[in-house]
Amino acid sequence: MPVEMDRNQIDSEGRGRSVSKGDVPDLLRRRYFTDERGGPGLGFYADARIQTAAFRDLGARLVTPRSDPNAIRDMAAVAQHRGWTVVVLHGEKDFRREAWLTASALGLEARGYQPTERDRQELERRQAALVRKTARAAEAGHERGDREPRDGGAAGQGSMRIVEAVVRARIGDRPSQDRILSAARERLASWLEKGARLQPVEVARSHVQQDSLRSRERQRSR
- The model's pLDDT over 48-66, given as tens digits with 9 standing for 90+, comes to 999 999 999 999 999 999 9
User: How many Cα neighbours within 13 Å face the side chain of 209?
Assistant: 6
Q: Tell which residue, 126, 78, 121, 76, has the closest CA to residue 96.
A: 76
Give me the pLDDT at residue 151, please: 41
What's the CA gap between 8 and 170, in Å, rounded?
A: 27
CA angle 213, 188, 109 (to 5 degrees): 80
**Cβ atoms < 10 Å from Cβ of 27:** 11
- The domain limits of the chain are 8-111, 117-221
Q: In 3-state terms, what secondary structure has residue 64? A: strand
3-state DSSP call for residue 56?
strand
Task: Please spell the DSSP secondary structure of 13-43, one letter per residue.
Answer: -S-SS---TT---HHHHHH-EEES-SSSSEE
CA–CA gap between residue 44 and residue 52 (Å, rounded): 9
The residue among 28 and 191 whose pLDDT is bigger is: 28
Q: Per residue in 1-11, pLDDT tens?
A: 334 456 899 99
**Run of H or E residues at 45:** strand 42-45
By the 8 A CB rule, do 45 and 70 touch?
Answer: no
Q: pLDDT > 70: what percent of the chain?
A: 58
pLDDT at 169: 54
Residue 187 CB neighbour total at 10 angstroms = 14
pLDDT digits (tens, 9 = 90+) for 77-135: 999 999 999 999 999 999 999 999 999 988 899 999 999 999 999 998 888 887 777 66
What lies within 8 Å, CB to CB, of 73 at 6+ separation is 102
Q: Taking the model in full, what pTM does it have?
A: 0.66
Question: For residue 120, what is the DSSP state?
Answer: H
pLDDT at 17 over 70: yes
**Helix 93-105 to helix 117-144 angle, to the nearest 10 degrees?**
40
Lowest-confidence segment of 64-78, 127-141, 183-197 by average pLDDT = 183-197
User: Is the confidence at residue 205, as pLDDT, over 60?
Assistant: no
State the DSSP string of 171-192.
--SHHHHHHHHHHHHHHHHHHH
pLDDT > 90? residue 180: no
Q: Cα(170)–Cα(205) distance, rounded to whole angstroms?
A: 9
Residue 23's pLDDT band (cuts 50, 70, 90): very high
